[in-house]
Structure 1
Amino acid sequence: MRIALFTDIYLDIPGGIPSSIKAQKSALQKLGHKITIFCPGDQINNTEKDLYIVPTHRLLRPNQAPLAKRPKRILQSIKKEYSVFSDYFDLVHVHYEASCSIAGVKLAKEYKLKLIQTMHGREDIAINTNLSAPTKYLVARLLNIMHSISLGRLSSKTERLPRKDRFLIKNSVCQNMWQLMVRQANLADAVISPSAHFAKNLKQYGVKKPIHVISNGVDDSYLQNLGFSVRSFKPNEHLRIIWNSRLSKEKRILPFLQSVASSKHKDRIDLTIIGDGNQMQEAKNFAKSHLQSSQIKFLGIVPHEQIFNFMQNQHISVINSYGFDTQGMTILEAVACGLPVLYADPAMDEVVPEHGGLRSSNDSVAAMTDAIDQLFAHPTIIEEMSKNVIKAKGSVLQSTQISKLLELYLK
């Protein structure tokens, strides 16, 4: 098949969406399919093959991410290269909801190509958490209006959009972002959710198109030359914890560091922090004031294929987000390495293998501190969890998940 993947988040951005797209691309190409990724970015620094850089703003880079120009400009550019889009592609798979992704939707509709939409994340939480009032109310409203206008007559074909409630849509920020997400999903022929709990939420808030739960996957090639054994934590050791996520408010890096600093055993905890984000400096400042410099290493952005090297000698991986992640690539990557998971969100029970992780009792700093201290009180838990995680290792590899994706493509 000839597949066009559209996404607004790919180049220069570490995280779950880019890594899942790369893994899908690699697995599909190994099976002989032709993949082209359409995304914003810097053409000069691009070394990846089978990539089409859409018109991108030079100076506007929210959170250091490349920002695509208006869908109209993107469509004009693509049509110069692919005059009749359907002569080059059999299917369009869209991974986001902003300008580049909107262009993908419009091309699929114009040329009557099958359209698959993956709904990756809770954009309502991202806006609500990272922007202050009143800015977040204005931004969410503008994004929703621009999304509707950009889709033009197509947007009128979506079902009734969700209103505020007492569950997930508690304010107008959430309402606007959920309306945007539902509008985007209902234009597809089929929708992919990486988890069952997010699929349930999408359906509850008005997504009428068929929703298929297909997990993201870890690129097999990243692990082929690495060996991972069952982890064990000896009573005289320092506990080695790895953080492999953005350093941002929605990922809750500061509450996690506060939990470590509050632990009775904080002098026996070694942290490796991989990632960057809008709270990097705050995290460093907190660590400098409350933790010893020998305890914590901030590595910044690490090439994705190298992250697994750092996981080889860790005891446990941590993901501290709550209500934000629809799945959590951090969890899948830990499982692929036989690494237990320390986490806070009950929704992640679906993703963490049974008895393969330790969840705090709630989302408070104190609860996470208690969970950390449990590992010191019962060090054999690490080995027990690691054994269970290793049993599930194969399930998180992209080679396992790709057959489900292909089956949906060919339906």
Structure 2
Amino acid sequence: MHVVMFADQHLESLGGAQVSMRLQKRFLERAGHVVTVVAPRLHREAPGDAAYLDMPSIPITPDREYALSWPGARTDRFVDAQMGARLPVDVVHVQADFWGAFIGHRYAARHGLPVVHTMHNRVDVGIEATAPFPRLVLRVLNAWARRVLPGAADARPNARSSQRPAGDSRDTSDPGEGGRDAMAHGRAATLGATDGWAYLRRLARLSRAVTAPSSHFARRLERHGVTPAVDVVWNGIDDDVLDAALSVEASVRRPGRPRFVWLGRMSPEKRLLPFLEAVIASGIDADIEVIGGGAQGRAARRLVERGAPQATVTFAGRLPYAETLRRLADADAVVQTSIGFETQGMTVFEAASLGTPAVVSDPDIAGELGSGTWTVADATVPALANALRRATADIAAGTAVGPDASIAERFRQSSRTAAMIDVYRRVVAAGR
């Protein structure tokens, strides 16, 4: 098959979705398929790749890391001209939330191609966390979608059957009366609605299949009437990197105090500062390593200096991926603190693949993992402090919880690529 992916940002730019798409591309090519990636041109030096189709773009951040390609007739003509030598195309895979989604759906509609749309982002939560006037931004975004998406204002609801494909591991429990009501009425309300769910419904209506990187996000999409059924395909971990990490000779736990790792972007939605407040309040005797960077880095260091915790807190900064995995494998537990923001929660799955359990604040992520967690009762600092005390005591006593051993195999990118290929084949066959 020839799969054409559309992205909001160039795959060589920074970001979790870009990392995931690079991995998907590589494993699709390894499986014998052809991939083209259509994305805004990057405004800095980056590795070249014949699979990249770079659209004209304008930088939108001071560091020129991220760019925008304007969806419209001029961009449509450019993409069609550049794709001429790459035809034929079998399926369009939109993995974008904004301009990349508009451009991808417009391309598919012009050429009568089936669309698989992966929804990586809780648009409502993401915009609320990053924009000063989120309701206004969502109104503008919905108006933009009505203007540029093909038939978005009057598109018929997604007609996909709600029957799950064979082998789908998604939770199939009844969504309840509220969920059925949302699915029944959500699509009818989309035309005039201006929230994040209405926006995602507009994209789903133009897609033959919608996928999500976790069952909890899939259920949320279904309950808000985005589409009747969502295929769950986790973002995975590179098989080669995982094999290298697992090939290291197993040994007895390294002596010392319990070791915790917090990993992520230092921004409010990730809740680093409440985590450090909980470390201070808990009084645990442990080693805490904070990996990552971001705007709250300075505030985090000041908080630790003022709070003088019993634990030793080390700020490691940004680390290469392989080194990050090594430290996750060496830790006694990883700590996950965001709530309601993550559509998957990659860090805890990477840790579980390496045999490392997690302290988990988000109940949806805890449910997805299934085992190997110390759960946090609520979103308060005292509840997180209590969970850290329990984890510390269990680790020190040699009775730490263990993650589900099957995650290491289920999380491999090769298995995730095979699952996505099944989705591609289904939508292509349905269009014949």
Q: TM-score scaled to structure 1, two decimals?
A: 0.85
Tell me by how many angstroms 1:270 deviates: 2.3
The worse-fitting range, judged by mean Cα deviation, of 87-96 and 304-313 is 304-313
Q: Aligned match of 2:264 in 245, 260, 270?
A: 245
**Counterpart in the other structure of 1:154:** 152
For 1:293-308, list aligned pairs within 5 A.
Answer: 295-308=312-325
Deviations 1:258-289 (A, max 9, x none): 11121212x53321322x33433333332343
Aligned letter for 1:154?
A: A
Tell me by how many angstroms 1:353 deviates: 3.7
- Give the aligned length: 392
**Counterpart in the other structure of 2:170:** none
For 1:122-201, list aligned pairs within 5 A.
Answer: 122-132=122-132, 135-157=133-155, 159=157, 176-201=195-220
| Partners of 1:43 and 1:198 in 2: CA distance | 33
Aligned letter for 2:30?
A: K
| Partners of 2:392 and 2:253 in 1: CA distance | 9
CA contact (8 A) 2:239 2:413 kept: yes
Tell me by how many angstroms 1:108 deviates: 0.9
| Partners of 1:51 and 1:348 in 2: CA distance | 33
Query: For 2:355, what is the secondary structure of its paired residue?
Result: coil
**Counterpart in the other structure of 2:167:** none
Deviations 1:338-371 (A, max 9, x none): 11111111111332142x1111111111111111
Query: For 1:321, what is the secondary structure of its paired residue?
Result: coil
Residues 11 and 112 of structure 1: is their aligned pair in 2 closer, same or farther, counting only changes over 3 Å? same
CA contact (8 A) 1:14 1:304 kept: no
For 1:369-408, list aligned pairs within 5 A.
Answer: 369-379=385-395, 384-386=400-402, 388-408=403-423
The worse-fitting range, judged by mean Cα deviation, of 205-214 and 180-189 is 205-214
Aligned letter for 1:93?
A: H
Query: For 2:58, what is the secondary structure of its paired residue?
Result: coil
CA contact (8 A) 1:353 1:392 kept: no
CA contact (8 A) 1:242 1:316 kept: yes
Query: For 1:243, what is the secondary structure of its paired residue?
Result: strand
Aligned letter for 2:227?
A: K
Identity of aligned residues (%): 26
Aligned letter for 1:144?
A: N
Query: For 1:38, what is the secondary structure of its paired residue?
Result: strand
Deviations 1:371-394 (A, max 9, x none): 1111222226776434x4444311
Higher relative contact order, chain-length normalized (CA < 8 Å, sep 6+): 1
Residues 199 and 64 of structure 1: is their aligned pair in 2 closer, same or farther, counting only changes over 3 Å? farther
CA contact (8 A) 2:106 2:150 kept: no
The worse-fitting range, judged by mean Cα deviation, of 320-329 and 69-78 is 69-78
CA contact (8 A) 1:193 1:211 kept: yes
Residues 106 and 264 of structure 1: is their aligned pair in 2 closer, same or farther, counting only changes over 3 Å? same
| Partners of 2:359 and 2:219 in 1: CA distance | 25
Residues 12 and 300 of structure 1: is their aligned pair in 2 closer, same or farther, counting only changes over 3 Å? farther
Residues 391 and 14 of structure 1: is their aligned pair in 2 closer, same or farther, counting only changes over 3 Å? same
| Partners of 1:285 and 1:406 in 2: CA distance | 48
Aligned letter for 1:357?
A: T
Query: For 1:296, what is the secondary structure of its paired residue?
Result: strand
CA contact (8 A) 1:191 1:209 kept: no
Tell me by how many angstroms 1:78 deviates: 1.8
Aligned letter for 2:335?
A: V
Tell me by how many angstroms 1:38 deviates: 1.9
| Partners of 2:62 and 2:225 in 1: CA distance | 29
The answer to whether the aligner puts 1:280 opposite 2:269 as a matched pair is no
CA contact (8 A) 1:246 1:277 kept: yes
| Partners of 1:389 and 1:36 in 2: CA distance | 36
| Partners of 1:344 and 1:230 in 2: CA distance | 29
CA contact (8 A) 2:23 2:238 kept: yes
Query: For 1:225, what is the secondary structure of its paired residue?
Result: helix
Gaps of 5+ in 2: 159-177, 187-192, 427-432
The answer to whether the aligner puts 1:323 opposite 2:340 as a matched pair is yes
The answer to whether the aligner puts 1:362 opposite 2:360 as a matched pair is no
Tell me by how many angstroms 1:303 deviates: 3.7
Aligned letter for 2:33?
A: H
What is the aligned-residue RMSD (CA, Å)?
3.1
| Partners of 2:71 and 2:317 in 1: CA distance | 32
Aligned letter for 2:81?
A: K
| Partners of 2:413 and 2:116 in 1: CA distance | 18
Residues 373 and 145 of structure 1: is their aligned pair in 2 closer, same or farther, counting only changes over 3 Å? same
Gaps of 5+ in 1: none
CA contact (8 A) 2:116 2:209 kept: yes
Aligned letter for 1:339?
A: T
